[in-house]
Amino acid sequence: MNKNLLLLTLSQIFSFTAAPITVFLSGIIGSQISPIKSLATLPMSISVVGIALGAIIATRVMSLIGRKYGFIIASIGNTLFSALAAYSIYSQNFILFCFANVFIGIGMAFTHQYRFAAAESVDKEMAPKAISIILFGGIISAFLGPTLANFSKDLISENLYVGSYLALALLTFFPSILFLFYEDKSKLEINLQYKGRNYIELITQPRFFQAVCASAFGYAIMTFLMTATPISMHVMENMSLSKTSIVIQFHVAAMFLPSLVTGYLIKKFGNSNIIYAGIFLYSITLIVSIFDQTFYNYMVALIFLGLGWNFLFISGTSLLVLTYKEEEKFKAQGLNDFVVYSIHAIGSLSAGIFISLTSWKIMNLICIPFMLLIILATIRAEIYEKNPSVIKR
């Protein structure tokens, strides 16, 4: 745990609170201030779109000014747009609230770059463990954010939830102070020119494609099923809101708690084997979901869904950092995050449609082709590594 990694971990705890607070409150606020009730979830959806758009912006900005100042600017931006969200709630302005959420999403794209900065702050063989430490900070954020948002929601008594976003503005400001002590090791004289292979050459590299597939489709499957879970449990199966909340909380814990050991497992067994393990854990989710929908079935399914996501996302990210040269890193990371969070957005946006048109069982079966794609991409990369002449780059 060197200084940079410590600063990144602390910053992750504060900055990542934007994600659970957006999930926790944006739909509720949208239903209260939206002139069209069917658009209540729009702020949440467009914040995910903001992450996808911000992936390219974040890497481009940091290639020009370095990670330190990129992270500081993003932190201040998150604070300003969280304050704008608070004002939009105060003034009951739904369009302004949506606008603020887009830019909170773009700010989150910078936060997602913390994991790459963590990998760069240690030796390459320690990168999986560094990434795991950063993601573990997410579990603290997942409880800190909603707890503080709930505690501060009545801060301005006549305008519920204004205080929640003022609290978010305070939380997201702390990283801008922490990063003043960050030592930027980016080679700006190289990165300014954005050199290296083009996007087609990068994505057709078997290991790069494997890494992107593991992260992108692993994330999409998790989001697709997680987003549909409250609707399936509470609306379609008439389970209580408290039971639904417990399942989601255990799911979030399963997403982040394994980060304590995932880095060690990757170092011991290799990225590909952990990717296969992630697919196996997803398979348990699918098998459990074939049976009747009960509280315990949902609980087991969502726990294994969280565990599988952790294995796939961390192994995909740690594999990615081994596939590019120093002068390509911002281009490669930007491409990876754009693909990952674009597919993540599609999974999030489509979940509500599919659960209303089909069923929980069918939604789980829909995930099988994407799991097979991750397996095939991994097998292809393994074959190429053993015999590069078999597959052309």
What are 355-372's pLDDT values in tens digits? 878 899 999 999 999 999
The mean per-residue pLDDT over the stretch 288-299 comes to 90
Comparison of pLDDT for 235 and 144, the residue scoring more: 144
Please compute the mean of the pLDDT values over residues 264-277 and round it to a whole number: 94
Answer whether residue 252 shows pLDDT above 50: yes
Tokens 């209540």 found at: 40
pLDDT of res. 366:
95
Mean of pLDDT values over 269-282: 96
pLDDT value for 189: 41
Q: Give the best-scoring range by mean pLDDT among 156-170, 241-255, 340-354.
A: 156-170
**Mean pLDDT over residues 251-263, rounded?**
87
Q: List, for residues 111-162, the tens digit of each pLDDT value.
A: 999 999 998 888 888 888 898 899 888 888 888 888 888 889 888 878 889 9
Burial of 328 (0-12, 13-18, 19+ CB in 10 A): buried
| Between 73 and 41, the higher pLDDT residue | 73
Rounded CA gap, 174 and 75, in Å?
Answer: 8
- The 3-state secondary structure of the chain reads CCHHHHHHHHHHHHHCCHHHHHHHHHHHHHHHHCCCHHHCCHHHHHHHHHHHHHHHHHHHHHHHHHHHHHHHHHHHHHHHHHHHHHHHHHCCCHHHHHHHHHHHHHHHHHHHCHHHHHHHCCCHHHHHHHHHHHHHHHHHHHHHHHHHHHHCCCCCCCCCCHHHHHHHHHHHHHHHHHHHHCCCCCCHHHHCCCCCCCHHHHHCCHHHHHHHHHHHHHHHHHHHHHHHHHHHHHHHCCCCHHHHHHHHHHHHHHHHCCHHHHHHHHHHHCHHHHHHHHHHHHHHHHHHHHCCCCHHHHHHHHHHHHHHHHHHHHHHHHHHCCCCCHHHHHHHHHHHHHHHHHHHHHHHHHHHHHHHHCCHHHHHHHCHHHHHHHHHHHHHHHHHHHCCCCCCC
b/e for 155-169, b at 16 or more Cβ within 10 A?
beeeeebbbbbbbbb
Which range has the worst mean pLDDT, 136-140, 242-246, 381-385?
242-246
pLDDT value of position 393: 43
Average pLDDT over residues 252-280: 91
pLDDT above 80: residue 27 = no
pLDDT beyond 50 at 297: yes
Mean pLDDT, the chain, as a whole number?
Answer: 88
pLDDT of 187 > 60? The answer is: no
Q: Please write the tens of the pLDDT for every residue from 301-342.
A: 999 999 999 999 999 999 998 888 888 888 898 899 899 988
The pLDDT assigned to 247 comes to: 85
| Structural domains in the chain plus CATH codes | 1-178 (1.20.1250.20), 196-393 (1.20.1250.20)
Write the burial class of residue 241 (CB in 10 Å: 0-12 exposed, 13-18 middle, 19+ buried). exposed
The per-residue pLDDT for 279 is 97
pTM: 0.80
